[in-house]
Structure 1
Amino acid sequence: MRKKIDKFDLQIIKLLSKNARLNYRQLAEYLGTTRQRVSRRLEKLEREGIIKKYTIIPDFDKLGYIYVVLGITVTPGTPLEEQIEILKNDESVKVVERAIGTHNLVVHILVPKDMKEVEKKITEITGRLKNVEKVDVTFITEIAKFELV
């Protein structure tokens, strides 16, 4: 059953999506309410799985990495859950998304800034998967905007 969230919950989510470091006091000030109300709502949103994770967006270039997105198409009938489990166990894989459209899976990986290493990692990842028909590779040069709400 889908959980009901209201405008207040959405305001909390939007503020945290812009800055996950905001504390209860700061959120309460922005929203014109009490820390206790914010605390109760956040606990509810976390408990119900609406807020899954608090995170950061690092500058991969400054860290010496390349951010790559793989669009993977597998043969129809190939069990995606098995493929997803294989991908989830790779430390270079940062995001795995099921998709409808050109690709069945969209996979975000982080690899050192060395094209031979990039090629090796892509070959390694896709080689473990079954029935891969096609892989499209996209190199991300900059995250210009990242906003989920």
Structure 2
Amino acid sequence: MRAKIDKIDIQLIKLLSKNSRLTYKELAERLNTTRQRISRRMEKLEKMGVIKKYTVIPDFDRLGYVYVILGITLKPGVQIEPVIEKLKKEDDVKIIERAIGAHSIVIHLVVPKDMKGIERKINELSTKIDGIDKMDITFITDIVKFDIL
């Protein structure tokens, strides 16, 4: 029998998405339950693959980096899996998203603040991707809200 996600699980995920450093004790206090129940729920959510990763959102500007999103549209008939496998090997590629709509793939890059370097990286990536029909580039200036649920 497959475990189900309930209202408490969703609340737990929301709290962690705002601050993944909360302790089980703090989570239990906020959700009016025990630390042991939180521990069991966390283990269940991790085993189910609902919680994939605990992470931070850095201020790229203060670190001397630029956050760039590439929207890539592949030509009809081009296989997407080989493209994704190539992109997974790239250190500067931080997120790869399969998409339906204007783009086939959306790629998030974090690169040093150097326009020539950014141009070089984008050109380098585009030569590794067979069958590009169109590519849109967006420079992210600030992440003003980042909520998961």
Q: TM-score range by the shorter chain?
A: over 0.9
**Unpaired segments ≥5 residues, structure 1:** none
Q: Please name the residue that 1:112 is paired with.
A: 112
SS in 2 for 1:125: helix
**TM-score, length-normalised on structure 1?**
0.97
Aligned to 1:45: 45
Moved over 6 A (4+): none
How far did residue 3 of structure 1 move?
5.8
Sequence identity of aligned pairs in percent? 60
Question: Counterparts of 1:64 and 1:90 in 2: how far apart (Å)?
Answer: 19
Aligned residue for 2:124, secondary structure, equals helix
Corresponding position of 2:79: 79
Secondary structure (helix, strand or coil) at the match of 2:55 reads coil
Structure 1 residue 4: Cα displacement:
2.5
**1:5-59 Cα shifts (integer Å, max 9, x gaps):** 0000001000000001011011001011100000000000000000000100000
Q: What residue is the counterpart of 1:60 in the other structure?
A: 60
Gaps of 5+ in 2: none
CA RMSD of aligned residues (A): 1.3
For 1:43, the aligned partner's letter is E
Q: TM-score normalized by structure 2?
A: 0.97
Aligned length: 149
Q: Which residue of 2 aligns with 1:25?
A: 25
**How far apart are the structure 1 equivalents of 2:15 and 2:41?**
13
> Aligned with 2:57: secondary structure?
coil
Distance 1:3 1:100 in 2: 30
- After superposition, the Cα gap between the structure-2 partners of 1:3 and 1:81, relative to the gap in structure 1 and judged at 3 Å, is farther
Q: What does residue 88 of structure 2 align with?
A: 88
